Amino acid sequence: MTDHINRYLLTLGLSFWALLGMCQSNGITVSGKVTDKESGLALEGISVYVNNTTYSTQTQKDGSFRLTNIPLLHFELIFSAVNYETQARSIDNAGNTAPLNIQMQKNAALLNEVVVTASVEKMAGNNMAARSIRIFLAIRHLPNNARSLIIRQSGSDE
């Protein structure tokens, strides 16, 4: 008889523990949409991250973003992109937050365009290291606000 009661209590206890685990929240979910303040158009590729953590994402084509399972109750959410002013929003909530609507303001002080040009000289042994060093030295002297560069190569190395 006591063996049946022990099994019943064990089954009841494990069921309660499993149910409690399923109901427990894994953290905060933050979602929303990022648009351009002037035009109202959705912005794709905006970096969205929790400050001083590795929790991050980028906005989708429609400007939407979603960060889930953030194990913090109080944190700072950062929105950043080249040519836009970085924005920070404090999240202070013990549960899921309402969707955020972020409007990014263009930063007039940033460069409109960065052009990187390179020339290739014939070198003995096709020395790629020397080429890489020259390009690195040219890029190193760009302003800090030009952190995101796309280097395109046209033509041939020959």
φ and ψ at 133, to 5 degrees? -65, -45
State both tokens at 80: 């950043």
Strands 84-92 and 56-58: unpaired
pLDDT at position 27? 81
pLDDT at position 78? 96
pLDDT at position 8? 62
pLDDT at position 50? 94
Q: Name which of 41-50, 77-86, 112-121 the model is least confident about.
A: 112-121
Spatial distance between the Cα atoms of 38 and 137, rounded to a whole number of angstroms = 37
**Mean per-residue pLDDT for 109-128?**
63
- Confidence band of 154 (pLDDT split at 50, 70, 90): very low
